[in-house]
Amino acid sequence: MPLNPYLEALQPKLSPEDLKKLSAIGNPNVHEFIAKASDLCHAEKIFVCSDSAEDVAHVRKQAIATCEERATLTLPGHTVHFDGEQDQGRDRQNTRYLVPRGITLSKALNQMDRQEGLAEVRGLMKDSMKGRTMIVRFISLGPPQSVFTILGLQCTDSWYVAHSEDLLYRSGYGEFVKAGNRSDFLRVLHSAGKLTEEMVSAEPEKKRIYIDNMDNTIYSFNTQYAGNSVGFKKLAFRLAIRKANLEGWLAEHMLLMGVYGPNKRKTYFAGAFPSACGKTSTAMLPGETILGDDIAYIRDIDSVARAVNVESGIFGIIQDVNPKDDQLIYKVLTHPGEIIFSNVLVKDGKPYWLGMGSEIPKEGVNYSGQWFEGKKGEDGNEIPPAHKNARYAVALAALENCDPELNNPDGVVLGGIMYGGRDTKAYVPVQQSFDWEHGIIAYGASLETETTFATLGKEGVPEINMMSIQDFISIPMGQNVRNNLEFGRKLKKAPIVFGVNYFLKEVSNGKYLNSPQDKHVWIKWMELRVHGEVDAIKIPTGYIPKYEDLKRLFKEVLNKDYTKADYAKQFTTRVPENLAKIERVQRFYQENVTDTPLEMFGILYLQRDRLLKAQAKFGDYISPEKFEG
Ligand code: SPV
Ligand code: MN
């Protein structure tokens, strides 16, 4: 059979086997994207990864051969990758959503004119792969052959990126072969750009991460940090949010986990937390099961909310992973198995990171090269031994509590949804909403956090992070709130919505009121609430646990004696702080979100009213027993 013109153009750069692999995909749209990518970037050769064991091993071998990953770690399967000093997190500034002229999506979204953006990024990427191999990878987002599945295709010149995708995503070559001629797949073109001798992107000032919302295409250039370069993570997520909006389902920045109740009952939860707010450590609680730690697709199937993990691996923050707080992942990270560490410190074949619970050497190799205590960076500040946003990439299957339903094409039924921010002042550690709408508005849309090390820029700046997707929202924000409200209304039994807050501080001394382990108790309480098996106390912002139930759960789950004094401090309603929170949320939506559904203000008004009435009766700080009986 004669080759189509795209395959014909690609043929000189492909081995006969690779040409065969591409020809087996009966979809000229696929060939066209690869041919145009190759034409623009001028790769010398093209490698097509068919996901066979041999191809996958080749990708891994090349990542090491090119020194993008170093095999200097002693444990079998472990490698380390370093990103440049200015490439240690997602780059909000240089990540832009390309939209046709005249369209404004949301003030919160960094958007630019599509034509201008395309001309700029394509101009920059011209000839960027000269002398290099372009790797082609096929991915299935969500379990294959399911109503949730979205297929993706990435062309990259980074073996590290291609290798990461192996650990983080389900393979999709076979799916593309089966799918035949269709155009509804996501496309990613990535190049690390010019590299230093250390194999690190050399021109961070020319970093560009552009998402073309009309062509379902992502361009990523002059960056290697996986959150910017692995297109199927947060970049494809923006495209998925838009697709979900059109098709009536939800794409969310959420963990998925199974929580055990009495008699081995398992209840599935989804949880939205902004980056670095405890999402991964919640998903990994020992004794429970994990399905995912980052992105979930949720659909209404026969009036039931069902969810899948888009990914099949974890790109997790390694800081503070220690044997006490995160025993499961600590065990994985300190045993043989396929893991890519990034931006840790390496000394004598061992990786080290901040908060690992043991001493860190005073010298070694890190993202700044040879490192020693006191070494200063380009900005004159001291370079830490490991970056705060140092990470690990590992397949979920490596975890002993990986949930058996991970690849169920029908997903799992959600019993509960939690929203967790970084709120040092107002919200109690755990509360249940009065109903779906109240939860979506008072916990989800009102989610507040502070900027963290997961994005470049200043840390600790307070901000609204609507449903934890503020960085990724690609539709008008009010529309997103409306979609969520409507989604739950159509269900026979909507998941119960909870608000959690791991970061509440004592007013008098600014100390955190909870330890990281306490979240395990909160989730066990939520599990019981989903089944109506414990009572609760109604306070102005939601239903909170009763002391006796928490006391029992603290003993059962953590073997800790939980005191009434601790309970009173943690679950006191702080009226002034809660009123101030409502003020901030209202102002943010009034000023930034022209399409906010009116009922949002109604629900916030009622919350304010409940708080004022309680204040008139009991004062500013109201301990839980005042609301009992
Ligand atoms: C996050 O920052 O929310 C992450 C990591 O999950 S990244 O891939 O950078 O998005
Ligand atoms: Mn995330």
Q: Is the dihedral of CA 560, 566, 571, 577 positive or negative?
A: negative
Q: Which helix (H) or strand (E) holds 152?
A: strand 150-156
Residues 6+ positions from 570 with CB-CB distance below 8 Å = 428, 429, 504, 513, 514
Q: Could you tell me the distance, in angstroms and rounded to a whole number, from the CA of residue 7 to the centre of ligand 1?
A: 35
Q: What are residue 351's phi and psi, to 5 degrees?
A: -85, 145
Kindly state if the Cβ of 233 falls inside 6 Å of ligand 1: yes
Strand partners, 306: 299, 413
Q: What are residue 444's phi and psi, to 5 degrees?
A: -70, -60
Pocket probe for ligand 1: among 90, 160, 277, 459, the residue whose CB has the most ligand atoms within 8 Å is: 90
Instruction: Report how far residue 33's alpha carbon sits from residue 377's, in angstroms, rounded to the nearest whole number.
Output: 40
Helices (H), 305-350: 327-333
Instruction: Report how far residue 5's alpha carbon sits from residue 17's, in angstroms, rounded to the nearest whole number.
Output: 18
User: What pLDDT score does 109 carry?
Assistant: 77
- Nearest atom in ligand 1 to 226's CA: 8
Residue with tokens 């080290």: 352
- Pick the ligand that lies closest to the CA of residue 452: 1
Kindly state if the Cβ of 391 falls inside 6 Å of ligand 1: no
Q: Could you tell me the distance, in angstroms and rounded to a whole number, from the CA of residue 454 to the centre of ligand 1?
A: 7
Instruction: Report how far residue 306's alpha carbon sits from residue 144's, in angstroms, rounded to the nearest whole number.
Output: 16
User: What pLDDT score does 301 carry?
Assistant: 97
- Nearest atom in ligand 1 to 317's CA: 5
Q: What is the DSSP string of 381-435?
A: SBPPSS-TT-EEEEEGGGSTTB-TTTT-TT-EEEEEEEEEE--SSSS-SEEE-SS
- Nearest atom in ligand 1 to 455's CA: 2
pLDDT in tens, 564-623: 999 999 999 999 999 999 999 999 999 989 999 999 999 999 999 999 999 999 999 999
Closest by CA position to 305, among listed 464, 415, 445: 415
- Nearest atom in ligand 1 to 293's CA: 6
Q: Could you tell me the distance, in angstroms and rounded to a whole number, from the CA of residue 561 to the centre of ligand 2?
A: 34
- Nearest atom in ligand 1 to 90's CA: 9
Kindly state if the Cβ of 315 falls inside 6 Å of ligand 1: yes
Q: How far apart are the first and last CA of the chain?
A: 80
Instruction: Report how far residue 131's alpha carbon sits from residue 66's, in angstroms, rounded to the nearest whole number.
Output: 13
Instruction: Report how far residue 218's alpha carbon sits from residue 152's, in angstroms, rounded to the nearest whole number.
Output: 11
User: What pLDDT score does 252 carry?
Assistant: 98
User: What pLDDT score does 64 carry?
Assistant: 98
Instruction: Report how far residue 390's alpha carbon sits from residue 29's, in angstroms, rounded to the nearest whole number.
Output: 37
Kindly state if the Cβ of 160 falls inside 6 Å of ligand 1: no
Closest by CA position to 419, among listed 462, 467, 451, 464: 467
Q: What is the DSSP string of 40-51?
A: HH--SEEEE---
Q: Could you tell me the distance, in angstroms and rounded to a whole number, from the CA of residue 332 to the centre of ligand 1?
A: 20
3-class secondary structure, 204: helix
Kindly state if the Cβ of 279 falls inside 6 Å of ligand 1: no
CA-nearest residue for atom 7, ligand 1, is 227
Kindly state if the Cβ of 388 falls inside 6 Å of ligand 1: no
- Nearest atom in ligand 1 to 274's CA: 3
Contact 259, 523 (CB under 8 A): yes
Pocket probe for ligand 1: among 235, 275, 342, the residue whose CB has the most ligand atoms within 8 Å is: 275
Pocket probe for ligand 1: among 234, 277, 281, 309, the residue whose CB has the most ligand atoms within 8 Å is: 234
Residues 6+ positions from 535 with CB-CB distance below 8 Å = 546, 549
Q: What is the layout of strands, in order, in the sheet containing 391-395?
A: 78-81, 339-342, 391-395, 313-317
CA-nearest residue for atom 4, ligand 1, is 275
Q: What are residue 6's phi and psi, to 5 degrees?
A: -70, -45
Kindly state if the Cβ of 187 falls inside 6 Å of ligand 1: no
Q: Could you tell me the distance, in angstroms and rounded to a whole number, from the CA of residue 255 to the centre of ligand 2?
A: 9
pLDDT in tens, 385-440: 999 999 999 999 999 999 999 999 999 999 999 999 999 999 999 999 999 999 99
For the whole model, what pTM was predicted? 0.95
Pocket probe for ligand 1: among 95, 281, 294, 449, the residue whose CB has the most ligand atoms within 8 Å is: 294
Strand partners, 167: none
Kindly state if the Cβ of 454 falls inside 6 Å of ligand 1: yes
Instruction: Report how far residue 434's alpha carbon sits from residue 613's, in angstroms, rounded to the nearest whole number.
Output: 17
User: What pLDDT score does 276 carry?
Assistant: 84
Kindly report the CA angle at 299 between 293 and 305, in degrees rounded to 5? Answer: 85
Q: What are residue 545's phi and psi, to 5 degrees?
A: -65, 155
- Residues identified as active-site: 277
Contact 316, 395 (CB under 8 A): no
- Pick the ligand that lies closest to the CA of residue 456: 1
CB-count exposure of residue 608 (10 Å: 0-12, 13-18, 19+): middle
Kindly state if the Cβ of 237 falls inside 6 Å of ligand 1: no
Instruction: Report how far residue 239's alpha carbon sits from residue 217's, in angstroms, rounded to the nearest whole number.
Output: 9
3-class secondary structure, 550: helix
pLDDT along the chain (629 residues), means of 10: 91 98 97 98 98 98 97 96 96 93 78 96 98 98 97 98 98 96 95 96 97 94 97 92 96 98 98 92 96 98 98 96 92 97 98 97 97 92 96 97 98 98 95 98 95 78 90 92 98 97 93 96 98 98 98 98 98 97 96 94 98 98 93
Strand partners, 254: 272
User: What pLDDT score does 228 carry?
Assistant: 96
Q: How many residues does the chain have?
A: 629
Kindly state if the Cβ of 234 falls inside 6 Å of ligand 1: yes
Q: Could you tell me the distance, in angstroms and rounded to a whole number, from the CA of residue 562 to the centre of ligand 1?
A: 34
Q: Which residues of 49-83 are buried (b: 16+ CB within 10 A; e: fewer)?
A: bbbeeebbebbbebbbebbbbbbbbeeeebbbbbb
Kindly state if the Cβ of 227 falls inside 6 Å of ligand 1: yes
CA-nearest residue for atom 1, ligand 1, is 275
CA-nearest residue for atom 8, ligand 1, is 227
Q: Which two tokens stand for residue 557?
A: 């789950």
Residues 6+ positions from 260 with CB-CB distance below 8 Å = 266, 287, 288, 527
